[in-house]
Amino acid sequence: MNISNDMSPFSIYFSLNNGLSDTKPSLKRMLSQMRGMYADDTAYANQLAQADSLLYEFHELGIPESPGNLAFGTSIVYPGKVGNEYYMTKGHFHTILDTAEVYYCIGGQGLMLMESPEGDWAAEPFTPGRAVYVPGRYAHRSINTGHEPLITFYTFRADAGHDYGTIESKGFRNIVIERDGQPAIITNPKWA
Ligand code: ZN
């Protein structure tokens, strides 16, 4: 009998082709849920008037939020841009700031953009087979710079929590745009 937490052993399938589980629903993030997150507000409004596209989805399994548990799942960011800025996740700090996370890329091409409250930042590449370590204290955002879905598997301490509000109000210091057909990291003109 396990009295240390609320978990029993289990397994779950995530497709290596599209990242999705065959038994659990994903959480979907549409263009309309990313208002203000992209640098080009005009391009955002024009694209939203055309269609409310699916930008990314992820699996959140509801593992009980105790410090001995691990939360995990997959994240799928679809290819596309708002203006010249690539599709990306909203990004977040952890509520318990000093908690790390690991992402393992299953498919696609992209970047993990990270920054600390003190202004240290990094962008590590996502390519199939590459793992990215996000240290504690670093906000993190997945960005699809390729032409296929960017599929990653992630795991972090289950009680870490998500602080989306800081990024919603301040943004990241840098953004990733397409310039001459290549990803370029530039200063975010909207950074507060
Ligand atoms: Zn995280």
How far does residue 72's CA lie from ligand 1's centre (Å)?
Answer: 10
The β-bridge partners of 105 are 152
92 Cα to the center of ligand 1, angstroms: 6
What is the DSSP-derived secondary structure letter of residue 165?
H
How many angstroms is it from 99 CA to the middle of ligand 1?
9
At 188 the pLDDT is: 97
Concatenated DSSP letters for 34-54?
Answer: GTTTSS-HHHHHHHHHH---E
d(CA 17, CA 69): 27
Strands 139-144 and 85-86 come out as: unpaired
Please report where in the chains the tokens 């659990």 appear, as a residue: 24
What lies within 8 Å, CB to CB, of 47 at 6+ separation is 31, 53, 82
Is the CB of residue 127 less than 8 Å from the CB of residue 118? no
Count of other CB atoms within 10 angstroms of residue 5: 13
Q: Which DSSP symbol is given to 169?
A: H
- Give the amino acid at 21: S
pLDDT at residue 5, rounded to an integer: 64
- Could you tell me the distance, in angstroms and rounded to a whole number, from the CA of residue 107 to the centre of ligand 1? 19
Distance 50 CA to ligand 1 centre (A): 31
What local confidence, expressed as pLDDT, does residue 133 receive?
Answer: 98
Each domain of the chain, given as residue ranges in start order, spans 27-187
Question: Which pTM value belongs to this model?
Answer: 0.95
Cα–ligand 1 centroid distance for 160 (angstroms): 8
Q: Residues with beta carbon < 5 A to ion ligand 1?
A: 101
Ligand 1 centroid – CA 116 distance (Å): 13
Q: What are phi and psi of 169, to 5 degrees?
A: -90, -35
The one-character DSSP state at 145 is -
Helix extents (H) in the chain: 41-50, 165-170
- Cα 1 to middle of ligand 1, angstroms: 31
Q: How far is the CA of 180 from the centre of ligand 1 (A)?
A: 31
How many angstroms separate the alpha carbon of residue 134 from the centre of ligand 1? 8
**Domain 27-187, architecture per CATH:** Sandwich (2.60)
**How far is the centre of ligand 1, averaged over its atoms, from the C-alpha of 119 (Å)?**
18
How many angstroms is it from 182 CA to the middle of ligand 1?
27
pLDDT along the chain (192 residues), means of 10: 71 98 97 97 98 97 94 98 98 97 98 97 98 98 98 98 95 97 97 86
